[in-house]
Each structure stands twice: as structure tokens, then as C-alpha cells.
């Protein structure tokens, strides 16, 4: 079971403290997080992002708000690249129905802003470790571990009730592996997530979608940067 409402306690595996797949090896069953991790304020959680904040003024946010109340298929008009969000967002797939598999988003931060060292970008071993680590950080923030819990879909309220809004990123297991959920190059770092675009019935909730996407952009814009990482935990 995850911590909180879905956060993944991956330090159990790293510290060999049990948990599903952890392998045992220690008589103390209490999960112990590394120093600086696992506390509610470890990543300065943005708990109100996207639930209470207003949508930003990006072109994508304004466009989503204009879709309020339109048939769900109009989300497909959002496909493509949006550059002023303030970080680049790519919408590679927009679901055609609120009950279909979720939409695919990529949030890209230019390395002039993210400032990842060249060695972390170019060395295969360091790159793999960094991408794995950032995937774990974003997973915990997006899924309510030590960070936010604003991505949870609302309780079911029937066919005409509000639905969707859930954001997911890959959940990492015990091993440090090459990840496709986070990609780091000398030019940019990019997070790849799925988003269940929100609706009431089969009508678009454009204002809610704009708020969620604005919150996602804000979160990734902060936590994809090198300076936001805990240097005691980041593989260097």
C-alpha cells in the first residue's frame, strides 16, 4: 500500500526496510525514509495547486476555458505543441471519451532554466540515475505521498457528475532503470504523464481542465529543475 492516498514509499526498497517487493533483510518493520525525504514539507508541497488556484494566462489555459460545456471530442483540438505555458506542453493524445484511456501529456523545461549539469545529461549511468530519481519525486508529488494530492479524481457522482482530472506518472520499483517517464538531454528535461481530461457527462469541464494543467505546469516547472532536488539523495 502507498503512503497517504497513493504515494509510493520507494525508500523502503532503497533502505531494504520491507514493503511490497522490498526483500526484507531488517528486523525493523517501520519504513524509514532517507534524511530529508518523506516529511510533509520535504518538497515544499504545493497542496493547493490546481484545486484552488486560478488557471494561468497561457494560450492553452485560455483555450481550454473556451471549451467549457462543449462536446468531449473537442478536446482533440488541443493536440500539438503549446509553448507559452510557461514551459512547453505537448499533447500527444487526447481521449475521445471520458471513459476512454487517459490523454498523454509531455511537459518540457528548457535546460537554460532547469540547469542540469552536462555530465548528468551526457553520461549514460548518471542520466539513468537522475531520470529514475526525478520520476520517483514526481510520482510522490502527483500521487499524494509527501507532496500534493490534488490529482485525485472526485468521488463518483453518477453519469452527469464531475469526473476525470487524475494525473499519473510511472511508478518505479526496486531497481534504478532507464525511464521513459522522464527524459533528460543537454537541451531540456521532460516529464511524460497521463491525464484523464475532466468532464460532466460527456461535456467538457474546460475551466477545471485549465486549472489542472496550470497546476501541473507549475509543479513540473519547479521540480524538474536541478536546484529543486535533494543533493543528498540525487545520484551524483
- The 3-state DSSP class for residue 208 equals helix
pLDDT at 39: 37
Q: Got the DSSP string for 96-108?
A: SSTTSSPEEEEEE
Burial of 131 (0-12, 13-18, 19+ CB in 10 A): buried
pLDDT at 31: 33
Burial of 39 (0-12, 13-18, 19+ CB in 10 A): exposed
Instruction: Express each pLDDT in 55-89 by its tens digit.
Output: 888 999 999 999 999 999 999 999 999 987 679 99
Other CB atoms within 10 A of residue 158 CB: 7
pLDDT at 183: 97
Peptide bond into 187 cis (omega under 30): no
The Cα–Cα gap between 230 and 183 comes to 19
Residues sharing a CB contact under 8 Å with residue 219, sequence separation 6 or more, in sequence order: 46, 49, 138, 141, 142, 148
What is the chain's alpha carbon radius of gyration, rounded to the nearest angstrom? 18
Q: Is 146 left (phi over 0), alpha (psi -120 to 50) or beta?
A: alpha
The Cα–Cα gap between 218 and 89 comes to 12
Quick one: which of 194, 198, 199, 201 has its CA closest to 180?
194
Q: Are 50 and 166 in contact (CB under 8 A)?
A: no
The Cα–Cα gap between 127 and 131 comes to 6
pTM above 0.85, yes or no: no
The Cα–Cα gap between 46 and 222 comes to 10
Instruction: Express each pLDDT in 146-180 by its tens digit.
Output: 555 566 666 666 667 778 888 999 988 888 888 89
Q: Are 140 and 169 in contact (CB under 8 A)?
A: no
With a cut of 50, which residues of the chain have pLDDT below it? Answer: 1-52
pLDDT at 166: 87
pLDDT at 155: 63
Phi, psi values for residue 226, rounded to 5°: -65, -40
The Cα–Cα gap between 220 and 22 comes to 28
Amino acid at each position: 500500500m502507498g503512503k497517504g492516498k497513493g504515494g509510493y514509499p520507494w525508500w523502503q526498497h532503497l533502505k531494504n526496510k520491507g514493503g511490497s517487493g522490498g526483500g526484507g533483510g531488517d528486523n525493523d518493520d517501520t519504513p524509514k525514509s532517507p534524511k530529508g525525504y518523506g516529511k510533509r514539507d520535504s518538497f515544499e508541497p504545493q497542496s493547493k495547486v490546481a484545486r484552488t488556484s486560478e488557471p494561468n494566462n497561457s494560450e492553452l489555459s485560455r483555450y481550454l476555458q473556451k471549451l467549457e460545456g462543449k462536446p468531449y471530442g473537442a478536446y482533440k483540438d488541443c493536440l500539438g505543441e503549446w509553448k507559452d505555458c510557461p514551459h512547453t506542453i505537448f499533447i500527444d493524445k487526447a481521449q475521445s471519451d471520458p471513459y476512454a484511456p487517459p490523454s498523454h501529456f509531455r511537459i518540457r523545461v528548457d535546460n537554460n532554466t532547469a540547469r542540469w549539469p552536462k555530465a548528468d545529461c551526457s553520461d549514460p549511468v548518471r542520466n539513468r540515475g537522475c531520470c529514475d530519481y526525478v520520476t520517483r519525486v514526481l510520482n510522490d508529488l502527483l500521487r499524494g505521498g509527501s507532496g500534493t494530492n490534488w490529482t485525485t479524481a472526485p468521488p463518483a457522482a453518477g453519469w452527469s457528475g464531475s469526473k476525470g482530472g487524475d494525473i499519473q506518472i510511472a511508478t518505479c520499483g526496486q531497481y534504478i532503470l532507464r525511464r521513459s517517464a522522464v527524459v533528460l538531454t543537454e537541451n531540456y528535461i521532460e516529464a511524460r504523464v497521463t491525464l484523464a481530461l475532466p468532464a460532466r457527462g460527456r461535456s467538457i469541464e474546460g475551466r477545471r481542465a485549465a486549472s489542472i494543467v496550470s497546476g501541473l505546469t507549475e509543479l513540473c516547472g519547479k521540480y524538474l529543475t536541478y536546484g529543486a532536488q535533494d543533493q543528498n539523495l540525487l545520484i551524483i
